[in-house]
Chains A and B, each alone.
Chain A
């Protein structure tokens, strides 16, 4: 059994927030029955949307591939249960805040028959890392911490980057969310086993399991699981309960005491960060042949009658999950997918649970009650910024649309954690301002790139025209010279031919 260690790097700023996690972890994880209809979006991940390999009317089995990965960065989608594909059409999705995007709609036959598991490779000891990596690609596995980056692509990048440290992220620092906590309590062995597979794929020997200090049960469960596995390569690290210690770059800073360079990835600091849920999903797929077709999601908030953690088949409508958790309370006003700091606000509960749905949060009140005032430059935002930005200055430059000052002051390094909003005495929507300023800068970049391309095209055309004119005049000169040297007879002959042409 390995005890948690505490030697940590430092994180600037951050906030101690009310965690609100007790409500959803009061009872053990529940399992939701399979609904009659499942809606599986083709675009549940970062990268290109998957391409359907089934058509309306097709019968499918649980775990069967229904949309294959397309593009270099993408992920496959599998049927969450057995049944019939009834449509492939746009439906409301969480990634678009409730606006529609293409989905495969599946009608359950109630039998939940599994597809014949594809041949799994032997025990991990004999498996070559390449084979494992290729196999992970087929499992449709993406980062389950919320970023939904395709795991296979992340691993491929990491393998080529040459890193030395794997960090399994069980920090779960955002308020309200407790699905990772639940997973760590209930399936610690699967997490450790998944972590061992990831180490094998990466070919490295150092792994940290990072868990926030407010999750003693999870820490105990993981310590026990590590003891059972006897794997000496893993170290359990307890990180302080300060938001956003679980954000990727910030966790690298805390656990490995390394800074991820601006614009870079943790791999640039020699680290790969994977959510504990992702590790468990890798284990489920490699060792048990079950692709990513279900996940634990936290359904909670003052707008939900019975907050809980629930194991849900992907594609289950959020409205069904909320009904399973006792339905809405009278005070329910806002639906958020994710936590209260970075979650996405939905226009409708008809969106389905997808790979990245870590939390369904129903809130009762609007964001802010006090008046919005001018910035008084108190600098509290700078005190809590984990990136050490000066939001009070960025706010000023954003209002002036001063792109170079925004860049100089690190706008593009902003991780949109929302800490500055929560300490602003003027109640300014800083994160929203920065989000749109970033979008505006990207837009300008696109515009500039387009303008550059247009200019290049224009210049090329001008050169081409000049060249053509030169050739033309050279031709003409040559003809004149030829005509002159040929003498009067030739000219008369040419004139005759010309007249004949005119007569025709």
Chain B
């Protein structure tokens, strides 16, 4: 009998890129639910808009580059980019802002660098930074969490959809009545006004560690991240690095002067710290790839986040930190190659 020859090994891989991406999306479901609970349906609408433009941009660029469109879309990487970008946006964001970020992320940051696996920068963060500097007003339009005891009226689904489509608030809703600073904004401007951390933390929007609502969302992000760690979709080096890089300087400063430096808990549960640690910085394509390199990469991101929050003009620094460390990835990988078995001092050592 004659046979077709193959190359070893003959087993099937137990996983696939599309499955990994679906697991990431699944891990974001608890955080999405919590976010929607506290801030209304805006996130979902933003996700829909971002997904439409990310996958549209992906399809367009794939076909322009002469690549199979259906196969390219079926890896769900464009959807993950869209969902992460949507998480970074205020609940009320006009569609063209979201679309601009989505298209920049996919067209420029991803495909102009060679597409899946070749992009130097994290697409979602690149897209986010572009709209952050291009639409500063829209990107500062944050809401207050729906907590019952806070005197605040949330826009309805219809009102949110209306704003998303037209960019103008319906009659009866004023910008000033809706817009609220984020906890990080409050802290930064409060400290700039020579208030103490305790004074800022006494504001009604502040919770046990970070902002009210926000810290709950943080818990649900951590649940999803923990599940990804258990499933080994992500490894521990980057999340731990990000958290250490942020919390070590935060703790030191807090211990030195708790009056003008918020607690490490505040840093951990405010802004995009946890989303970054588990979902953004862990994008494998744009992260360092050796185990030690990933720790270095994560620590670098954490440190830059701290520096931006403490000394920068922006309240949060996740996107800048990630993009800056993206640039250092080739260097980090070069100097963190693990010791190959059989090389170095341990090789041939009989004392063992």
Inter-chain contacts of B13 with A (CB < 8 A) = 368, 370, 421-425, 427
Type the 1/0 row for A240-254, where 1 means its CB is closer than 8 Å to any CB of B: 000000000100010
- What distance in Å separates the Cβ of B26 from its nearest Cβ neighbour in chain A? 15
B172 CB-CB contact with A under 8 Å: no
Given contacts A367-B12, A425-B20, contact A374 B116 (CB under 8 A): yes
Interface residues of A in 297-344 (CB under 8 A from B): 319, 328, 332-336, 338, 340-344
B291 CB-CB contact with A under 8 Å: yes
A347 CB-CB contact with B under 8 Å: yes
- What distance in Å separates the Cβ of B276 from its nearest Cβ neighbour in chain A? 18
A1 CB-CB contact with B under 8 Å: no
Inter-chain contacts of A425 with B (CB < 8 A) = 13, 15-17, 19-20
Task: Tell me the complex Cα distance, A338–B10, Å.
Answer: 11
B interface bracket (residues with beta carbon within 8 Å of A)? 35 or more
Interface residues of B in 77-131 (CB under 8 A from A): 77, 115-118
A257 CB-CB contact with B under 8 Å: yes
Task: Tell me the complex Cα distance, A368–B10, Å.
Answer: 8
B8 CB-CB contact with A under 8 Å: yes
Query: B291 contacts which of A97, A343, A371, A379 (Cβ < 8 Å)?
Result: A379
Type the 1/0 row for A106-130, where 1 means its CB is closer than 8 Å to any CB of B: 0000000000000000000000000
Cross-chain contact B10 with A348 (CB below 8 angstroms): no
- What distance in Å separates the Cβ of A465 from its nearest Cβ neighbour in chain B? 47
Cross-chain contact A345 with B352 (CB below 8 angstroms): no
Look across to chain B and name the residue whose beta carbon is closest to the beta carbon of A175.
Answer: B11
B176 CB-CB contact with A under 8 Å: no
Interface residues of B in 303-330 (CB under 8 A from A): none
B202 CB-CB contact with A under 8 Å: no
- What distance in Å separates the Cβ of A406 from its nearest Cβ neighbour in chain B? 13
B136 CB-CB contact with A under 8 Å: no
Inter-chain contacts of B7 with A (CB < 8 A) = 345, 367, 429, 431-432, 435
- What distance in Å separates the Cβ of A30 from its nearest Cβ neighbour in chain B? 21
Inter-chain contacts of B20 with A (CB < 8 A) = 376, 378, 425
- What distance in Å separates the Cβ of A321 from its nearest Cβ neighbour in chain B? 13
Given contacts A334-B3, A349-B1, A425-B20, contact A259 B347 (CB under 8 A): yes
Cross-chain contact B117 with A422 (CB below 8 angstroms): no
- What distance in Å separates the Cβ of B68 from its nearest Cβ neighbour in chain A? 9
Cross-chain contact B348 with A335 (CB below 8 angstroms): no
Type the 1/0 row for A75-102, where 1 means its CB is closer than 8 Å to any CB of B: 0000000000000000000000110000
A interface bracket (residues with beta carbon within 8 Å of B)? 35 or more
Cross-chain contact A431 with B12 (CB below 8 angstroms): no
A373 CB-CB contact with B under 8 Å: yes
Task: Tell me the complex Cα distance, A374–B77, Å.
Answer: 12
Cross-chain contact B8 with A259 (CB below 8 angstroms): no
Task: Tell me the complex Cα distance, A336–B291, Å.
Answer: 35
- What distance in Å separates the Cβ of A388 from its nearest Cβ neighbour in chain B? 5
Cross-chain contact A258 with B117 (CB below 8 angstroms): no
Inter-chain contacts of B71 with A (CB < 8 A) = 371
Cross-chain contact A373 with B75 (CB below 8 angstroms): yes
Interface residues of A in 387-424 (CB under 8 A from B): 387-390, 392-393, 408-410, 413, 416, 418, 421-424
Cross-chain contact B116 with A376 (CB below 8 angstroms): yes
Look across to chain B and name the residue whose beta carbon is closest to the beta carbon of A253.
Answer: B341
Query: B348 contacts which of A17, A260, A375 (Cβ < 8 Å)?
Result: A260
Query: A374 contacts which of B14, B115, B342 (Cβ < 8 Å)?
Result: B115
Inter-chain contacts of B117 with A (CB < 8 A) = 373-377, 426
Look across to chain A and name the residue whose beta carbon is closest to the beta carbon of B342.
Answer: A262
B66 CB-CB contact with A under 8 Å: no
Instruction: Tell which of A66-74, A177-185, A263-271, A494-502 binds the partner.
Output: A263-271
Given contacts A17-B11, A259-B341, A270-B350, contact A367 B6 (CB under 8 A): yes
Look across to chain B and name the residue whose beta carbon is closest to the beta carbon of A341.
Answer: B9
- What distance in Å separates the Cβ of B114 from its nearest Cβ neighbour in chain A? 8
Task: List the interface of chain A (C-beta within 8 A of B).
Answer: 9, 12, 17, 97-98, 164, 175, 249, 253, 256-264, 268-270, 319, 328, 332-336, 338, 340-349, 363, 365-371, 373-380, 382-383, 386-390, 392-393, 408-410, 413, 416, 418, 421-427, 429, 431-432, 435
Besides the contacts A17-B11, A345-B8, A425-B17, what 5 more A-B pairs have beta carbons closer than 8 Å?
A9-B352, A98-B3, A262-B347, A334-B3, A425-B20
- Which 8 pairs across A and B sit closest by C-beta, in order of nearness? A418-B9, A374-B117, A261-B347, A262-B342, A257-B352, A410-B340, A261-B348, A378-B284
9 interchain pairs, CB-CB under 8 A: A17-B11, A98-B3, A262-B342, A348-B1, A367-B7, A373-B17, A409-B337, A421-B9, A421-B13
